[in-house]
Structure 1
Amino acid sequence: MSSIKLNAVEKWFGETQVIKGVDLEIEEGEFVIFVGPSGCGKSTLLRMIAGLEETSRGQIMIGDRDATAEPPSKRGLAMVFQSYALYPHMSVRDNVGFPLKSAGLPKAEVDAKVNEAAHVLKLDDYMDRRPKDLSGGQRQRVAIGRSIVRDPTAFLFDEPLSNLDAALRVEMRYEIAKLHQTLQSTMIYVTHDQVEAMTLADRIVVLEFGKIAQVGSPRELYERPANLFVAQFIGSPRMNVVPSTSVKGIPLHENATDVGMRPEHIELVDPGAGLIEGTVDVLEYLGADTFMILSCEDAGQITVRVNGNTTLRPGDAVGLRISNDLLHTFNSDGLAIY
C-alpha cells in the first residue's frame, strides 16, 4: 500500500485543457471516489495516475517517489476496467493467475496467490469454469482477482459496475466494500453514479470541468456542499434550488440569492401555513416513499420526498415548511453561505 499525491497536475489535448491544475492527497489505505458528470475529467485523471495518459504538467507521487514519467508497469498499480477483459479460452483459475505466470513466478507461488484471491472473492466454486459460464458479477470478481494477485500498491477502478444490471450493481457494491475492509488497500474509484460514491467512499472528489469542486466525506458533501454544483449533484432526488425572494417568513443572509432544500427535509403543511405555497403536479410512487413534484409559482418546480402512503393527489394545494437549519443558501457566484 502507499499514498498517492497529485501536485498541480494538468492534462492538455492540443489546445484543449481537460485537467486544470488538480491538487489531491490520497492517504494509504483510503478509498477515494472520483465522481462527476460525463466529460468532467474523472477517467482521464485516473488514467494519468495509472500512467495510461501522459501528465502534461505537474507531479504524481506514489509513496515517496516521483512517478510522473514512469510507465504503467513500473507504478505498481492494478486497474480494473468497465470491460472485464478476460481471456475466453482460459478457466477462471488461469485468468486470475495469468499476470503471475507471465512474470515467471514458480507454479507453487502462483497457485497459492490464486487460491488466496479466490477465497477472498468467493470464487472457489468457479475456478474451473470459463468466463462464458459466469454471471456479470462473477466475471467482474475474476477481473478484480487478477488484480489482487499482483499485490499492487493501489487499486484503480474505472466505472467497474456500469455494465451490470441494477441488482448486480448493488451486490457488487457490497463485494467491493467488503474487499476494501479485508485488504485495507488504497483504492481510487471512478463513477458517474453518486449512489456508488456515497455508499463506498471514505472521501469523494467531485470534479467539474477538469477542476475539483469539493473534496470531503459523503456526509460532509451532503450536509455542507461548497457550491450549487455539488449541492445539486450529491443527493437523490437532487436538491431543490429556488430564488431567495420566493421563500417567506425566514430571515436569510443578505447576500443569499438562491435557497436550497433537500426533498427529504421538506414538510408538507396546510395551505397558507408554509414558507412556500404549491400545488401537487405529479406523484412518483416508489413503495416506502413517494416523490411528489409540486408547482410552486415563483419558486418553480419543487420535489418533496413523502411517505409512500400519502393521500394527496394531483391538484391538491399544500404548504411547504422546512427548518431554518436545514436550508442551504448560496450567493450570486453559486458559493455556499455558512
Structure 2
Amino acid sequence: MARKKKVSMQDIADRLHISKNAVSLALQDKRGVSEEMRYRILQVAQEMGYGQFAERTSAGGNVLILMPERIMGYQDNDHFRFFHDLIWGLEKSIRKRGLTAVISPVDAEMEAKLQLPQACKEVSYAGIILFGIVDKAYARLVWELDTPLVMFDSYHRELPCPVVASANTEGAYEAVKLLIRSGHRRIGFIGPANLTTSHEERWLGYWSAMQESSLPLDTGTIMVYSAGFQDTEQEIEDYLNGLDTYPTAFFCGNDRIAYLLARQLRKRGLRIPDDISIVGFDDLHYEEDSGPGMTTMRVEKEQMCEAAAEMLLSLKSANREMLRHYIRPTLIIRKSVMEPNHSSHS
C-alpha cells in the first residue's frame, strides 16, 4: 500500500493561490500576512493534515470546536485578532493533551436552520467546545447531543453545563472602582447586556461598584441595549446626541465600544482623559488609533483556553450540572484615565 503523500507548505499555498512564504509566515505566527489570511491558512492546514494537524484519531481522538462564523467577520482587524487568539489557543491547548481540535464554523444559514456542521456526523470526537455567541435554539441543539460539552466565553443560563469564561463581574467591578478612586462620581456605562452574558455580567459589576460606593445610577448615562453588534457606532452616536451633559467617565463593555466612544467624543471636541476618562474590557490594541492607550481589563486568553481543554477532557459523559470556571482578568492602566492626584472631578 502506497504511503500517503506528506502535505507541504507549497500544497497549502497552491490551494489558496498564495505564496509559500505567506504560508510560512502564518504557520510561524509572524507578521506579514493579514489576520484573516492567517486564519484561512491555518484552517486549510488543518483540513489537509499538515504537520501537527496530521495527528487525528491516532493521537487519542478529536475535539470539535463549534463557533459562529460571524465572530471572525469583524471589520476591525484587532477584534478579529482577539477571537483568532482564542480559537487557536484552544487548538494548542487541546493538542498539548494529545488530541486534535477540529474547528467547525457555523454560518448564519446553518444557525437559522438548526443544522450541525458535517464534522458532527463524519468525525469521531471526545467532546465539543461551543465557542462564542450563538442563538439559544442553536446552543440547545448542541446541548442536547449526548456528548461532553463545554461552553466557552459565552453561555445560556437555561442550558446548564460546564462553562469557561472571563470573570466579567469581578473585572468590571475593579474597573469602575479605579474610576471612583480617580475622583469620578458620574460614571456612564455602555454595553449590550441584552445580547451576551459577558456584557450582562459586566453591567452587574458596574452596578455593584456604584452601589457599594453609594453613587446614584443615572439612567440617562447608561446604555445596556443594542439591536446588534453591527449597529454599535451609530447607537453610540445617537446616545451621545441625546445627552444634555456628559458623565466625567465611562466604563464600556469591551474595548471596541470604548474606542468607538472615544472617536465620537473627539468628534465633539472632547479630550481623553482631560475631559472624560474611559475604561474598556478585553485589552485590544488598535494600532491605527491616535488617542491615548486604553485602560482596560485584559482577558487572560491562554488561561481560559487551558481551563476549557482541561474541563472538557475531565468529563466522562454529557454533564448537565451548572459548573462555572471563571478566569479573573487583569487591570491594565494606560492613559485613558486621569491619575487620581491629577483628577479635577469631585
TM-score by length of 2: 0.31
TM-score by length of 1: 0.31
Q: Rg larger in 1 or in 2?
A: 1
